[in-house]
């Protein structure tokens, strides 16, 4: 098993799950086969840990968010720096448009057109 990726988020995967997708989510997070997690879950229920296992499963089924549709296909959510770059570009574009409007409003053309409209 490779080292855990600390930036990786634990999800439940209802698309691959049999009940709520908790075992599939745990298997994805720990990079192990889903069948192994399911076998461990069933064995823990059989060997006296039924209450603990069921309580943990119910809690995880409500605590873990479902995995978004695109996340399994390799599509990842944008990073914070990518979001900031996008916002910065949109603000720069808005500032450019505002400067163009300001340049037009303070121009002689605008004042001439507004005087003609008043006639």
Containing 24, the helix (H) or strand (E) segment is helix 22-30
Residue 111 or 6, more confident: 111
Q: Predicted confidence band at 1 (pLDDT cuts at 50, 70, 90)?
A: very low
- 110 touches 116 (CB < 8 A): no
The per-residue pLDDT for range 47-92, each reduced to its tens digit, is 988 899 889 989 988 988 887 776 665 556 667 888 899 999 999 9
Pick from 39, 29, 35: which is nearest to 6 by CA? 29
The domain ranges of the chain are 1-77, 80-118
Please say if the pLDDT value at position 95 is more than 70.
yes
Pick from 9, 20, 17: which is nearest to 71 by CA? 9
Please say if the pLDDT value at position 94 is more than 90.
yes
Q: For residue 61, how many C-alpha atoms fall within 13 Å in the half-sphere facing its CB?
A: 13
Q: What is the pLDDT of residue 27?
A: 87
Q: For residue 89, how many C-alpha atoms fall within 13 Å in the half-sphere facing its CB?
A: 6
């Amino acid at each position: 098993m490779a080292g855990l990726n600390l930036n990786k988020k634990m999800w439940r995967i209802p698309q691959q799950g049999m009940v709520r997708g908790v075992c599939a989510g745990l298997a994805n997070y720990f990079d192990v086969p889903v069948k192994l997690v399911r076998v461990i879950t069933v064995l823990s229920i059989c060997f006296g840990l039924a209450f603990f296992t069921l309580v943990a499963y119910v809690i995880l089924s409500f605590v873990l968010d479902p995995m978004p549709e695109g996340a399994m296909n390799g599509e990842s959510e944008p990073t914070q720096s990518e979001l900031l770059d996008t916002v910065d570009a949109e603000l720069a574009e808005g500032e450019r448009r505002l400067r163009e409007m300001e340049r037009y409003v303070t121009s002689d053309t605008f004042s001439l057109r507004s005087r003609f409209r008043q006639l």
